[in-house]
Amino acid sequence: SQTIHQWPATLVQPVGSPLSLECTVEGTSNPNLYWYRQAAGRGLQLLFYSVGIGQISSEVPQNLSASRPQDRQFILSSKKLLLSDSGFYLCAWSLVLAGEGSEQYFGPGTRLTVT
Amino acid sequence: GIQVEQSPPDLILQEGANSTLRCNFSDSVNNLQWFHQNPWGQLINLFYIPSGTKQNGRLSATTVATERYSLLYISSSQTTDSGVYFCAARGGSNYKLTFGKGTLLTVNP
């Protein structure tokens, strides 16, 4: 069965420091990968998605970037964190982008607090 | 892009009661999912239901795609059902899954 991991689980970082969050998927090949952010309140916002190694699509302009160095690894980064980057970051995967098999499954998340 | 609205925003029940959560979407969908976010933040998949009806234990869901809504039914609620329930939808050629703002369900013993 497929499993998705995220680390770290929690992170407290000062403003201006760099960021690297990692997501890995086990049990499947060539998954579609997604990064979401859940800010205070409830809504989830898609930040990036990737259909393959080195292929990243950005949904919103912001202080963050994403990379996919390996088939089942997705990394969210920032060179200098802002207070507004605080939130709960969730990684997700799906077999395909649309149609049957496009159901998305989420990892446990990383809670980031920028101080 | 597609708009997703959920109602009610908050719901308080006594253990054993039944409830219906609603999700309205603004356009035709090719993906609609219901999730339960537990107190630790984990999003748990409940249903993938772009159309039709599905049941899983005490939970069931119905999506009427032509009328652009989906319903999540919870029967004989338990305290462990508490949490936020999200509906998320994707339409057209857009790959983005758009989430509603969720329904916060509290089940009291």
Chain A positions in Cβ-Cβ contact with residue B95 (cut-off 8 Å): 32, 49, 57, 97-98
Asked if B31's CB is within 8 angstroms of A103's CB, the reply is yes
CA–CA min distance A39, chain B (Å): 11
Percentage of residues in chain A with pLDDT exceeding 70? 98
Q: Is the CB of A48 inside 8 Å of chain B's CB atoms?
A: no
Say whether pLDDT at A39 is over 90: no
pLDDT digits (tens, 9 = 90+) for B44-101: 999 999 999 999 999 999 999 999 999 999 999 999 999 999 999 998 777 788 999 9
- Rounded Cα–Cα distance for residues B1 and A98 (Å): 16
Mean pLDDT of chain B, nearest integer: 94
Pairwise pLDDT comparison (A89 vs B30), residue with the higher score: A89
What confidence score (pLDDT) does residue A15 get? 97
Give residue-wise pLDDT tens across range B4-42. 999 999 999 999 999 999 999 999 888 999 999 988 899
Choose among B89, B92, B66, B74: nearest CA to B36: B74
Closest by Cβ to B41, choosing from A98, A103, A109: A109
Q: Using the predicted structure, report yes or no on whether residue A98 has a pLDDT greater than 80.
A: no
With vertex at residue A97, the alpha carbon angle to CA A77 and CA B41, rounded to the nearest 5 degrees, is: 55
The pLDDT of residue A3: 92
